[in-house]
Structure 1
Amino acid sequence: MRLLHDLEHVPPEVLGGALTIGNFDGVHLGHARIVESIRRQARAVHGPTVVFTFDPHPVRLLRPDQTPPPLTWTRRKAQLLAQLGVDAMIAYPTNRALLELSAEAFFQQIVVDQLQAKAMVEGPNFYFGRNRQGNTALLGQLCRQHQMALEIVEPMQLAGHDEIISSSRVRQAIAGGDVEAARRMLTEPYRLRGMVTHGAGRGGSLGFATANLEAIDTIIPAHGVYAGYVVRQELTHAAAIHIGPNPTFGEGQAKVEAHLIDFAGSLYGEPLELAFLARLRDVHTFNDVQQLTSQIHQDVEAVKLSYSDWLTPRVA
């Protein structure tokens, strides 16, 4: 998959394909449905499958105080889309000039002139151009004028629920600690990233060394203990993840830390990614270290089971 950050020198193999435009934050099942459609359209026009996204989210420029916390960083988004079969992702630098383009000018300059798209796929709530003046009705007119196929894909609902899957709904689930609900809406378990820094070192003395993460640039789940895994150098390790303070030791500052199960070695200064599979429990204050250690042993066993369950369908 090609990841482009501008349209200055678009490779020929990215031109003349099927295009979809949107933020694709989190890459959830609704996004996967759109990708399935653009792949079908791409085959019909004998061109590539192209996703055009904005970096950063336009809201960050227009209403910075209302900017939602992101679910994915750019390279992670590209990775997830590549797994769905996308040929190229354009993370276009959002600026005032882009946001001031009329809907017609945006379509002409981006879709027609620069990407030479032959087909488009969008959801029914797609808006484009200055002040979101363009909608799917106008998009349909513009596509017809340029003999371009257009498919409108209906939103996806989670099985057994009336609510539509959306990035906002995924954020809400994660913020509330319901990472399992988020898993059901996403194409992959929710993942955040950060840099490993020095902590108090208390976990090592208890026999459960932890990696403390800082500089996290995506949404952080609610306080609690989670089953998950760490992604390090393209390998995964089962991990018990603690988010919140350590009240047993009188620490009120919230932290994000992970105990990598059956892992030995130093991680200080490394970038690390944490993926969340299930929420195990709340953060508790324990009467003594022995009680805490006993609970951690239980947490580790629960993590192993959750991680094993996650691996099973992947190797089947």
Structure 2
Amino acid sequence: MNSRPFHSTVPGCVLTIGNFDGVHLGHRALIEKLTSMSHRLNVPSVVFSFDPPPLKLLRPEMVPKPLTWNDRRRELLMELKIDRVDFFPTTYELLEQTPREFFEWILVEQLGVRGIVEGPNFRFGKGRVGDVQTLRELCDQHRVELEIADPQTLDHRLVSSTQIREWIELGQVRAANELLVEPYRIAGHVAHGAARGRTLGFPTANLEGIEVLIPKHGVYAARVAAPSDLAGHPVALHIGPNPTFGEDQSKVEAHLIGFQGDLYGKRMELEILDCIRGVRKFGSKEELLSQLQLDIARALDVATR
């Protein structure tokens, strides 16, 4: 699990609390307010999150696939000039705390909070009974500054992790990327597959162990983000089964365009840029090969813009 034991290392801070899954434009706007408050009060800025998400303990069957893994989330948030990202260990004891207990025991006593920035739909405490008004009352009692950030919209659509997740599930990755601070990324380890792509002249890296939400079945334009020596390399990415060969198992297969080398066992991260087409069954090997050439040309065009 990509987390670290919680501890406070500074006497006082300003903070924001949330999951920050799929770090997006709304998160960036909120963090801009937080860093401004941090500079004004001359204390560090902290993103305070939970590991695992509380819902995983309360309703594990309801937990959606994440949009980011914790190390990636921390990296994206730190790029927004936050001083620190803390993942607080989620326990049943923590989830039993009232809003006041959580505010006073963790935020005041452990962190010495001086200021808080939250969105208008913020909820906290057992049963999520605490809201922005509860938070305002507690901040007033403890002389903690509070700022509520306005929701962000793009083309009249609310910027949210829920909307991003919906678009990724539909394969509309380009639309999702417009709301994210960086293109959507998946990560996995390269495993041995059937080597069918190699026999066709289009070798693929088969990614396994992907922890985040995988887009809808289709062919996508992508770029390598890691390993670093291949960063930026264009990729034609196939997600789903191979119906042409009667294979029903869904796979994630990355063809690194023009690459010759051994990737087995390596961890690979891919930025997914756009959907090229859906998965379909071809009438012959020749028809498939012709389409693969078109897919690669399209993926190369998108990935090198």
- Shorter-chain TM-score above 0.5: yes
Report the AA paired with residue 64 of structure 1.
P
Q: 1:99 aligns with which of 95, 98, 113?
A: 95
Report the AA paired with residue 209 of structure 2.
A
Shift of 1:4: 6.8
Counterpart CA distance in 2 for 1:96 and 1:81 is 27
Q: 2:122 aligns with which of 126, 131, 150?
A: 126
What residue number does 1:306 align with?
Answer: 302
What residue number does 1:172 align with?
Answer: 166
Tell me if the contact between 2:6 and 2:89 (Cα under 8 Å) persists in the aligned partners.
no
Q: Is the aligned partner of 1:36 residue 2:36?
A: no
Counterpart CA distance in 1 for 2:232 and 2:89 is 32
Counterpart CA distance in 1 for 2:40 and 2:4 is 27
**Residues 254-278 of structure 1, C-alpha deviation per residue, up to 9 Å, x if partnerless?**
1111001122211111111121100
What residue number does 1:312 align with?
Answer: none
Report the AA paired with residue 227 of structure 2.
Q
Query: How many pairs are equivalent?
Result: 302
Tell me if the contact between 1:30 and 1:156 (Cα under 8 Å) persists in the aligned partners.
yes
Q: Is the aligned partner of 1:150 residue 2:149?
A: no
Counterpart CA distance in 2 for 1:181 and 1:231 is 20
Shift of 1:32: 0.8
Where has structure 1 moved over 4 Å in runs of 4 or more? Answer: none
Q: What residue ranges of structure 1 are gaps of 5+ in the alignment?
A: 310-316
Q: Is the aligned partner of 1:283 residue 2:275?
A: no
Q: Give secondary structure in 2 for the equivalent of 1:59.
A: helix
Counterpart CA distance in 2 for 1:232 and 1:262 is 17
Counterpart CA distance in 2 for 1:116 and 1:6 is 18
Q: Give secondary structure in 1 for the equivalent of 2:303.
A: helix
Report the AA paired with residue 193 of structure 1.
A
What residue number does 1:19 align with?
Answer: 15
Question: How does the TM-score come out when normalised to structure 2?
Answer: 0.96
Match runs of 1:141-290 below 5 Å: 141-158=137-154, 160-161=155-156, 163-234=157-228, 235-290=231-286
Tell me if the contact between 1:51 and 1:90 (Cα under 8 Å) persists in the aligned partners.
yes
Match runs of 1:2-13 below 5 Å: 5-8=4-7, 10-12=8-10
Q: Give secondary structure in 2 for the equivalent of 1:138.
A: helix
Q: Give secondary structure in 2 for the equivalent of 1:286.
A: coil
**Residues 16-43 of structure 1, C-alpha deviation per residue, up to 9 Å, x if partnerless?**
2210000000011111111111011101
Q: What residue ranges of structure 2 are gaps of 5+ in the alignment?
A: none
**Residues 196-253 of structure 1, C-alpha deviation per residue, up to 9 Å, x if partnerless?**
1111101112221101111111111000000011222232321111001111111111
What residue number does 1:140 align with?
Answer: 136
Question: How does the TM-score come out when normalised to structure 1?
Answer: 0.92
The CA RMSD measured in Å over matched residues stands at: 1.3
Tell me if the contact between 1:18 and 1:48 (Cα under 8 Å) persists in the aligned partners.
yes
Percent of aligned positions that are identical: 47
